[in-house]
Amino acid sequence: MKSARAPRKSARARIPARVHDDTGSAVVEFVTLGVLLLVPLVYLVLTLARVQAASFAVDGAARAAARAFTTAPDEATGRSRALAAVRLGLRDQGFDDDPAAATRVTCSAAPCLTPQGRVSVEVTVDVVLPGVPSLVDRFAGTHVRVRSTRSATVDAFRAGAGP
């Protein structure tokens, strides 16, 4: 004769159903991990974009300033043209730095506009990292210095260049 025994309940069946209820937890985990990973990624993208903008600004400004200087009729006009070119190049990318402080012009010959002479223009911009207060930057130095140097040759047959 067979005895009538009740079927055994598995261990899972003995635990109340509410303990295993995971409804909605995937959304919470996704949002939490998403925020933890997305905030640093967005900051990194903003920082790299600002440094890249500075790189474009100094490179374009130095190139334009060297060309503007070498095509000027005299050295004083050349320096003012170079500063104007640097100002435009920096402002084009959103930098309001003083062009006189950011620019250094050097010449291979004296006077600067000697035919076949080389004129080099160096433009430097300090990029403050986004979201960093100026007080912290002043003490911790959290900025990146971006610099570009471009050279141009003065035309050998420029007007007014005598033998």
Please write the tens of the pLDDT for every residue from 29-83: 888 888 888 999 999 999 999 999 999 999 999 999 999 999 999 999 999 999 9
Please tell me the predicted confidence (pLDDT) of residue 11: 58
Q: Where are the domains of the chain?
A: 28-153
Distance between CA atoms of residues 60 and 102, nearest Å: 13
Distance between CA atoms of residues 88 and 91, nearest Å: 5
Confidence grade of residue 12 (pLDDT, cut at 50, 70, 90): low
Does 162 have pLDDT greater than 50? no
DSSP per-residue letters across 66-120: HHHHHTSSSHHHHHHHHHHHHHHHHHHTT----HHHHEEEEESSSSTT-TT-EEE
User: Is-contact 115 155, C-beta < 8 A?
Assistant: yes
SS3 148: strand
Q: Closest by alpha carbon to 130, among 24, 49, 62? A: 49
Name the DSSP letter for residue 129: P
Q: Closest by alpha carbon to 99, among 74, 125, 77, 63? A: 125
